[in-house]
Structure 1
């Protein structure tokens, strides 16, 4: 039985990690996840992805330590997209929403951080406990100090302590908190909102954000205005690039075609 369950509705893909008992990720699962997200990236009819965990207790605790004890190497073949299939997936220019439905720690938190928007159930808890198992939360060590205050990021990385959804929201790790019973409805509501938007603009936003992460402001702006980013070049020469202005002038809702 596959550890990944998918549900497709219009332009939205829901991906559920379903690997009892705790939704931990081993090498084989990571490779399946990578194939799933690469297919989402490459399908022109899909616009938004929701990721979540099966059950009510675990979103994902990250790396399967039992699998590691049985021989899965921590530096093994995670497949396309790296661990969990998302954090190193190239050219993923579509929005991803994480619906954190429970315990979210270690590589599971890194998986959530690979999303663009994070929603959490009110009972969700978070941690980066790698320090206790003698390893490093590598992706979180790269991402967190850029997203939240440095001293808070370092505290979480160096102590591995647990924190709740309210604290996660306070530091900006989580966008919104919802009752557990409403979490997936809220995730789908957000996904439908995004799916109704302009896909070429989303692609340009995501590529600009990635490109500008380590760039000086003027260098990034020059690449944008000179159409050196492929998604920006496509947008500026597209039908959708004109549709917004036409719709405004004609006092109607825009019809985005993705071309």
Structure 2
């Protein structure tokens, strides 16, 4: 893969060492999620999962918005053509948000501007979120007759139920400052520092043992609703305890040198 590739859908893929930067580059549509860009994002996330050289992912948007959600113009055009509209989980393709959640490589959302509707759901599907001040966030689906399927499931797991339901029922937005107080935003930084901060955070993650990171993400995601005794014995993902990297990590620590991870 070359350093930078642009898909016809508007997705830009760039490798920065062991970090893969994915940019939604449809600023004229506020980076709305067309069918094509959703398909490309799913494909790219699956590739990242298979590529041992990719150890962290940063997802961002170009222009003034992170992502304004699904492409409503595309949906309306389909309605006018009489095309059947399928709910998110009844489609022949996998849900982008589901794939993001299950991708074993950590994903950081660099939220430079508005993250609303499906754009907010996309941010929620990421593991960590870095945002600029004053960014509007929310799920306005009730105002336009949509369902916020992913957000309705995930948001009550991230913040208190009453607050989540108020956001869902009213369709109103909150700012990134409020989202940070709720724990939805990991870091709130000046707008010009959003992407650099996200990339530095990704590089910090990428410097750690890849088997350990993948194990931690799979365990955290899949054990969330399990009783403690089941969660402790879940045993999903690669096993770092039996890996060569465990031996290397201990040796490097004791020898006071940087570790040389092999991913084995």
2:244 aligned with 1:239, yes or no?
Answer: yes
Query: Which residue matches 2:206?
Result: 195
2:48 aligned with 1:40, yes or no?
Answer: yes
Structure 1 moving runs of 4+ over 4 Å: 76-81
CA drift at 1:127 = 1.3
CA RMSD after TM alignment = 1.8
Q: TM-score, normalised by structure 1?
A: 0.90
**Separation in 2 of the partners of 1:32 and 1:48?**
18
Q: Where does structure 2 lack aligned partners over 5 or more consecutive residues?
A: 1-7, 80-84
Is the contact made by 1:60 and 1:104 (CA closer than 8 Å) also made in structure 2?
yes
Is the contact made by 2:214 and 2:237 (CA closer than 8 Å) also made in structure 1?
no
Among 58, 77, 99, the alignment partner of 1:50 is 58
Query: Which residue matches 2:196?
Result: 185
- 1:187-242 per-residue CA deviation (whole Å, 9 max, x = no partner) reads 11111111111110001101111221121100111233xxxx2423xx22211122
**Separation in 1 of the partners of 2:120 and 2:217?**
20
Is the contact made by 2:142 and 2:170 (CA closer than 8 Å) also made in structure 1?
yes
2:10 aligned with 1:3, yes or no?
Answer: yes
Q: Where does structure 1 lack aligned partners over 5 or more consecutive residues?
A: none
Is the contact made by 1:34 and 1:80 (CA closer than 8 Å) also made in structure 2?
no
CA drift at 1:53 = 0.6
Q: TM-score, normalised by structure 2?
A: 0.89
**Separation in 2 of the partners of 1:61 and 1:71?**
19
CA drift at 1:89 = 4.9
Q: 1:125 to 1:91 in 2, by over 3 A?
A: closer
Q: How many residues align?
A: 250
CA drift at 1:135 = 1.7
Q: 1:192 to 1:62 in 2, by over 3 A?
A: same
**Separation in 1 of the partners of 2:67 and 2:254?**
47
Q: 1:108 to 1:79 in 2, by over 3 A?
A: farther
CA drift at 1:246 = 1.8
2:38 aligned with 1:30, yes or no?
Answer: yes
- 1:156-191 per-residue CA deviation (whole Å, 9 max, x = no partner) reads 111111111110101111111111111111111111
CA drift at 1:111 = 0.4
Among 249, 253, 258, the alignment partner of 2:258 is 253
